[in-house]
Amino acid sequence: MPKTALVVSAHSADFVWRCGGAIALHAAKGWQVTVVCLSYGERGESAKLWRVPGMTLDRVKASREVEAKKAAVALGVHDIQFWDLGDYPITLSNDSLFRLVDVYRDIHPDFVLTHSKEDIYNRDHPAVTDFAQHARITAQAHGHNPGQKVLGAPPVFLFEPHQPEQCGWKPDVLLDIGSVWDKKRAAIECMEGQEHLWEYYTRVAQQRGAQAARNSDKTIKWGEGFQSVFPHVVETLV
């Protein structure tokens, strides 16, 4: 069976900016990456669309879904899901929690990517990382839907918030995404509703690439940073 990964994205563009390189890199190696977009970001992250005269909430959602689907294709996403739970604030019910538990148990991801624990600029993000990790714990519980195969202990990595120095986020994993940067940039350009962020996240990738090169003996131009939640269990240190 192919290896799998799960991305729990608060809004429909988060997976592109924050871990598009990781998605494309693993997809290119044959991994099946599932992306769950809990919200379209229709209220708080679609300002360009709302400037169009006569715009409606349904039209914003439809536009954001089209953008995210195009980005998913560019990155090689295996399955992208849109749960339409609203944003600013996002509504995370027990029914949605158990739905995510089902996703965990369906795909048994080898790793999980989601948001930082803090984000003073966007309260949806820490709510979602708590939600994703609560679902992970529930999926490990033998008493939840007895008879199903319980989840193991997939590592969880928190991707970069918009202003990490204000959010208590400190990367301890730097990923070289140079081989798939063109795919990530293509995915970024699919997010037309937030064009103002294209160059910002290009600069972020350059910065993380420079940091990765500084902490290795490799020539690295493009990178992504992640903060691990759990200790790494390894057989050798290098």
CATH for 149: 3.40.50.10320
Model pLDDT, residue 219:
96
pLDDT for 238 beyond 90: no
Q: What is the mean pLDDT of residues 196-205?
A: 97
* Total number of domains in the chain: 1
pLDDT for 212 beyond 90: yes
User: Could you give the CA distance from residue 9 to residue 12 in angstroms, rounded to a whole number?
Assistant: 7
**Looking at the domain assignment, is residue 26 inside a domain?**
yes
Extract the tokens encoding 152: 């193991």
pLDDT level of residue 220 (50, 70, 90 thresholds): very high
Model pLDDT, residue 1:
87
User: Could you give the CA distance from residue 190 to residue 193 in angstroms, rounded to a whole number?
Assistant: 9
**Looking at the domain assignment, is residue 237 inside a domain?**
no
**Looking at the domain assignment, is residue 236 inside a domain?**
no
DSSP string for 49-63: HHTSTT--HHHHHHH
Residue 34, C-beta contacts closer than 8 angstroms, at least 6 positions apart: 4, 5, 6, 7, 77, 78, 79, 80, 81, 103, 107, 109
Distances (CA, A) of 10 to 71, 76, 159, 190, 203: 16, 20, 12, 18, 22
pLDDT for 139 beyond 90: yes
The string of pLDDT tens digits covering residues 16-28 is 999 999 999 999 9
Task: Give me the chain's average pLDDT, please.
Answer: 97
Q: What is the mean pLDDT of residues 51-75?
A: 97
**Looking at the domain assignment, is residue 82 inside a domain?**
yes
**Looking at the domain assignment, is residue 215 inside a domain?**
yes
**Looking at the domain assignment, is residue 234 inside a domain?**
no
Tell me the pTM: 0.97
**Looking at the domain assignment, is residue 194 inside a domain?**
yes
Boundaries of domain holding 102 = 4-228
Extract the tokens encoding 34: 């599932």
**Looking at the domain assignment, is residue 150 inside a domain?**
yes
The string of pLDDT tens digits covering residues 157-190 is 999 999 999 999 999 999 999 999 999 999 999 9
